[in-house]
Chains A and B, each alone.
Chain A
Amino acid sequence: MSRAGWILLALLVAMLAGCTEEVGRDSSVGALTDPPAGFRQAAPGMRVNLPEDMGAHPEYRLEWWYLTANLKSADGKRFGVQWTLFRNGVRPGPFTSVEPGWQRDEIWLAHAALSRPDEHHFADRAARGGTGQAGVMEQPFKAWIDHWELRSLDASTWEISVEGEDFRYRLKIQPQQPAVLNGDRGFSAKSAAGGGSMYFSYPLRIIDGELEVGGEKFAVSGQGWFDREWSSQYLKSDQVGWDWMALHLDDGRHLMLFRVRGADDFYSATVVGKSGKARTLTDREFTLTPLEFRNSRFGSVPTTWQLSVPLADINVQVRSWPGDYWNPGALRYWEGPVEVSGSHTGEGYLEMTGYGD
């Protein structure tokens, strides 16, 4: 799903409209539905090439590197982290200049958050492309903006380091091979009418990490989910928001699922087996229903969900941690950890947009 795309587009529209409150959903959707000429479109039949596709795609308008993780300290304290790097093309690439320069070709944005039950910290950064202040290198993999960085240490390990004003984390990450190709071998549809993005993921194992919040340091480990997605395709005008989850079940399986809310809701999911084998689920193969809503800072949001995947014998409740996990900004979104109970137990992340006041 272009969950990140939604966020990025929302952000961009807000930025390009002067970060003013009067930026309405209509105008953002308007920008989403009319892609500017010159950018390449993601289409069915396209394939994912690795490691090249870990790098940037300047010929596409949007792309992102999206990481969420559920962590635990040695004494059992729970944490959630999010890190996202967005790239938005202002002009279609590829850009020929090899020397760094003050350009107006692309904008890079990054969001980082650290959550605990009833606690959420957020930081962001922005930079223009072309200077070297932000960018992505595919081999060896490195994605950065200022001093925030996600990079590979060796063939099987990445390291991420982030410093916000009131939190910081540095984690060693092992992406689980092979890459999970979402949708149709990497092309992930976003509506029944077609259109979508190129989308692959890695389940992550966090082997060694250190985070600091509230003046306290914690050694942590856990598991997470990494998304890589690029597109120039926009959502339909009747689509108002989405719900996205990445879940890690205690039996070793992972699930990524989303619903794009609109005149007709669009559902898609991927289930990843213990061996790493992935299977795409259609809307007939699973159900995802909100059970309970929570009154949050910005209005009511569904924080407990019923998820049923009969063919995988999964029937679970997904419940957000207590608290308020809005990432603030001109167009805010919910990004927070969840716990899973029912036929299986587990944990994961929930992202929601288009709710609230």
Chain B
Amino acid sequence: MGLGHVFLSHYQRHPGQLAGLVLILLCAAMLWSGVRSLTGSAENAVARSQAALEPLLSIVREDGAALDIQDFVRLRRAGLCASPRMTVTFSQSAAPAIIGIDPFSAGCLRQYREQQQEGESAALVGKLVTQFDRPLLMGSAKDLLRWKQLSLPHSASIQWEAVEGLSSGELLADISVAAELSADGRSRLQIFLPATELDRLPLPVGYRSQIQDYGVEPDPLVNAFLLSLDALGALALLVAALLVRSVYRFALEQRRRSLEILLRLGVPNTHLRLALIAEVVLVALVGGTLGMWLGGQLASAMAEGFEGTLRGMFNVDSLTMAGPTLETWLGMVLILAVVVAWACADLLLLRVEKQGRAEVKTWRWLAAPVLVAVSLAVLLITDKLWLVFLSALGCLIGAGLLLPELLNRLFALAERYCRQPLLEWSFSEMRVLCSLLQLPLTALAFAIATAIGVHAMVTGFETTFGRWLDQRLQGDLYLDPGRQVDAVEWEKRLQRLPGVTSVLPMVRGRGLLDGVPVDVFAVDPASPLLQEWPFLVAVPDHWSALVTGGVLINEQLARRRSLDVSDAVKVQVGGQVQSRSVVGIYADYGRPDGEMMLPISAVTDALPGSYAAFVLGVTSLGESGWREWPEQFHWLAESRLRDQAGLKQAANAAFDRTFQMTRRLNTLTLVLAGTALALMGLVIFRMRQGSYTLLHVYGVQRRNLRRRLIAHSMLVTGLLGLLAIPLGVFLGWVLVARVNPVAFGWALPLHLYPGFWLLVWAACLLIGALVALLVGNPVRLGTLKNE
């Protein structure tokens, strides 16, 4: 019989063990690869969209004349990284707009640069260069079809190509093609610059810049979210490592005997180790491969929710779900092999466990608090993200080491003060359970803590995001005039529109706060559309205070400059320097930049690069006929009107889907830990049957013993659940109060959700009850045969 047979025979005798191992590894691999696949593709999509949302400056001539090709050349000759865009629109209502770009300078705009860097042959800019010698239009198949139906006179020689990833209603072309087609429609040439260009070089005389797309840029939110998802995936692996180790440790005694026999039979130690390594790799290979495949399925199933989120927030049309590559597959197998190797390290080293169990306990009892204390200290003082994660992990491991021991001691205490013999036995029995099930219990504790922590983060995020949306998307309609306009004049005009009840002009620009450049956001503090705005902290009647020498600042700025309410600051907009005091701090999760809010009266003429937009309140959206406004009122022709309520709803719905997905992942981790505990519990309880049977022989009723078994199991998991709740709250705190500020400059408030704790605790009790019920009758007289 070969060595392989001997190894195989162990699992033939204990098929449940193999199934358990593969199942645990499979679940872990599935969770990890699923999460990674989602977050990986989301990161790419976010990076692309972020580029699209990079603050862009649009160049205008100071004499107010329309831009032409010579303006573009003048800017380029001045050394500025400028790129033109010609938009051609047609009178036919269904006609898609033609967006003409210059592929040779498009690299100046990050949106196109990223595409080029990806090196995809399908990159749109690359295509425009490849097809430079022929007129080409690219767009979605639907838009191309609409275009062909127009049969415009100048489009006879044009070639079409259907591509993904372009905005709906737009066709992309070389600017020369757009120029040729402009004869059939209305064209507008714009010249863009990345905002950072003006830090390097001034604009030539005769030009000024305005912000083209100030953009809501909620990517830090999404990044925090993705980061937390990744951490969740890593925790799933940690849980799996603990579980696998517990399975292997459990198998240790059984395996050791056969291994020792093999040694005595003359099989060299190295052969045994090699065979064990082969086994480890094989198990990891099977679990990893199956798990990766399932992870792919999991990611595909959840991609819709994710994609919805990204589409809602970033205008990302599609999330490219790449299949697992050989590299990720190998990585996964390697991670699992390490996990399994750690789990069976004792076996690999063929180490005989010495009597030092008590020593280990003492060591753990001492080391764990030290680890927790050190990690906590690091966590509190560090401002490096990786250290935050590492120290959080340290806290978690320290707590994980302590928890079963703490349970054990609690039961020991109860045992000592217990007067009733049967109760004393119960406590002693639970202590044994704690000791035997130490690893799966730790894993369960981690799963509980993760569930609570992530829930706190996600729900807190949801609440905060809702509030943030309320602030940003207040009013019924949002109007971007599409060009620089006189805010006062436009406000008057807008007020005369049918059904408009209130108009809030919002002027943006740049200014200095204590000498530091910040964004300026100027509003009319008297507007009824502002009265509901929430603040993190503010003086009473802050809107009036804003008019009388106050300034409102966003959280990022407050943190960066260590500013608080009533601090005095020097504000400079244009040539004016004003002394103002901070009258409120508002949450501004959209962007990482510092921003100050001023009354519009304080900035009217002096704000460099100012750009006005408007929020409108209307009596009834349905009756106002706002969609027709740009056609009815010629001065609104270039404007972009958006229905804020719809926007808010879409954003909320998108996040709802994503949150749902996180909860599902969380539940899966809990299920994984619960299942493993149940599997282990079944075996352990069978081992303890002798003790129950003896009591039965001594006269304790079978039913009583069964009830006790259920109570033991539920008490252990229930108490563990109770102890793990603070750990979960701690994890939640780490995510919202440490990870976010370090990574993005703002914190989410930590909310406590006792309702959810109760739910998780009930799940723990359920797991305990389930294990005990599965064991069934604890009395089996056959177990006394050997006594």
Contacts and interface: CB of A to CB of B under 8 A. Distances in A.
Contacts of A100: 69-70, 73
Given A16-B130, A18-B126, A126-B104, A102 B176 contact: yes
Interface stretch (B75-83, B317-325, B341-349): B75-83
B588 interface: no
A131 B73 contact: yes
B133 A91 contact: yes
B226 interface: no
Interface in B102-135: 102, 104-105, 116, 119, 121, 123, 126-127, 129-130, 132-133, 135
Given A100-B69, A107-B132, A133 B76 contact: yes
Q: Identify which of B104, B126, B135 gathers the most chain A CB atoms within 10 Å of its CB.
A: B104
B133 A146 contact: no
B130 A17 contact: yes
Contacts of B116: 19
A127 interface: yes
A97 B492 CA distance: 47
B129 A15 contact: yes
Interface string B122-156: 01001101101101000000000000000000000
A138 interface: no
A120 B40 CA distance: 35
A103 interface: yes
Contacts of B76: 127, 133, 146-147
Contact of A146 (B69, B79, B86): B79
Interface string A257-280: 000000000000000000000000
Contacts of B100: 102
Contacts of B135: 104
A125 B717 CA distance: 67
Contacts of B555: none
A20 B69 CA distance: 30
B174 interface: yes
A18 B122 CA distance: 8
A21 B119 contact: yes
A107 to B, nearest CB: 7
Nearest to B176: A102
Nearest to B174: A104
B130 A18 contact: yes
A319 interface: no
B179 interface: yes
B513 interface: no
B104 A127 contact: yes
A134 to B, nearest CB: 9
B102 A147 contact: no
Contact of A101 (B77, B129, B179): B179
B77 A147 contact: yes
A107 B174 CA distance: 13
Contact of B104 (A16, A128, A144): A128
A72 B671 CA distance: 72
A102 B130 CA distance: 17
A59 interface: no
B77 A104 contact: no
Interface in A98-146: 100-104, 107, 126-128, 131-133, 144, 146
Contacts of B175: 102
A288 interface: no
A159 interface: no
A90 B129 CA distance: 12
A16 B178 CA distance: 20
Interface string B40-84: 000000000000000000000000000001101100111100000
A101 B86 CA distance: 13
Contact of A132 (B73, B78, B174, B176): B73
Nearest to A22: B121
Nearest to A19: B126
Interface in A12-40: 15-22
A184 interface: no
Nearest to A135: B73
Given A19-B116, A102-B176, A127 B105 contact: yes
Given A103-B176, A128-B102, A90 B72 contact: no
A20 B119 contact: yes
Contacts of B86: 102
Nearest to B121: A20
Contact of A163 (B73, B79, B174, B178): B79
Nearest to B133: A90
A132 to B, nearest CB: 5
Q: Identify which of B119, B129, B179 gathers the most chain A CB atoms within 10 Å of its CB.
A: B129
Contact of B127 (A18, A103, A104, A133): A18
Contacts of A131: 69, 72-73
B683 to A, nearest CB: 55
A150 to B, nearest CB: 14
Contacts of A102: 69, 86, 100, 102, 174-176, 178-179
A128 B174 CA distance: 11
A104 B133 contact: yes
A90 to B, nearest CB: 5
Nearest to A104: B176
Interface string B285-329: 000000000000000000000000000000000000000000000
Given A19-B126, A102-B176, A133 B77 contact: yes
Nearest to B86: A102
A133 B102 CA distance: 12
A132 B72 CA distance: 10
Contacts of B102: 102, 128
A33 to B, nearest CB: 19
A19 B69 contact: no
Q: Identify which of A100, A133, A144 gathers the most chain B CB atoms within 10 Å of its CB.
A: A133
A10 to B, nearest CB: 15
A153 to B, nearest CB: 18
A334 to B, nearest CB: 23
Contacts of B105: 127
Nearest to A17: B130
Interface string A65-108: 00000000000000000000000001100000000111110010
B129 A19 contact: yes
Contacts of B179: 101-102
A147 B69 contact: no
Contacts of A90: 132-133
Q: Identify which of A17, A22, A146 gathers the most chain B CB atoms within 10 Å of its CB.
A: A146
Nearest to B100: A102
Nearest to A91: B133
A144 B76 CA distance: 11
B378 to A, nearest CB: 36
Q: Identify which of B77, B135, B178 gathers the most chain A CB atoms within 10 Å of its CB.
A: B77
Contacts of A133: 72-73, 76-77
A132 B76 CA distance: 10
A21 B126 CA distance: 12
A330 to B, nearest CB: 10
Interface in B80-108: 86, 100, 102, 104-105
A20 B126 CA distance: 9
Nearest to A146: B76
A234 B133 CA distance: 19
15 contacts: A16-B132, A18-B123, A22-B121, A100-B69, A101-B179, A102-B174, A102-B178, A103-B176, A127-B76, A128-B102, A131-B72, A133-B72, A147-B78, A147-B79, A163-B79
The 3 A-B residue pairs whose C-beta atoms are closest, nearest first, are A147-B79, A102-B176, A126-B104
Interface of A: 15-22, 90-91, 100-104, 107, 126-128, 131-133, 144, 146-147, 163
Given A90-B132, A102-B178, 14 more contacts: A15-B132, A18-B123, A18-B126, A22-B121, A91-B133, A102-B176, A103-B176, A104-B176, A126-B104, A128-B102, A131-B73, A133-B72, A133-B73, A147-B76
Interface of B: 69-70, 72-73, 76-79, 86, 100, 102, 104-105, 116, 119, 121, 123, 126-127, 129-130, 132-133, 135, 174-176, 178-179
